[in-house]
Amino acid sequence: MPRIAGTALVVVGLAHALLLAGCASSSPMGTPSISSAPSASPAPTSTEVPADVRAAFRDIAHASCDKANSEGVVETSENGTQKAILIPKSAAYKDFSAVFVDDTGTPTLIWETDSFAACFASNGFALAEEAGQEFEIELTFNEADGTFHTSLDQGSDLAPFVSTYSVSNGLIVRESISADWGETTIDVTYGMPSDDDISFLRLAVDEFLAENG
90-121: pLDDT as tens digits: 999 999 999 999 989 999 999 999 999 999 99
Question: Is the separation of the CB atoms in 77 and 186 below 8 Å?
Answer: yes
Domain boundaries of the chain, sorted by first residue: 48-212
Residue positions counted in the chain: 213
- What pTM was estimated for this model as a whole? 0.81
Cα–Cα distance between 84 and 138 in angstroms, integer? Answer: 26
CA of residue 72 relative to chain centroid, distance: 12
**Right CATH number for 48-212 from 3.10.20, 2.50.20, 2.40.160, 3.30.110?**
2.50.20
In the chain, which residue ranges form alpha helices assigned H by DSSP? Answer: 12-15, 18-21, 53-71, 120-130, 195-212
**Each residue's pLDDT tens digit, 47-74:** 788 899 999 999 999 999 999 999 999 9
* Nearest-angstrom CA–CA distance, 132 and 130: 5
Question: What stretches in the chain show pLDDT beneath 50?
Answer: 1-15, 17, 20-38
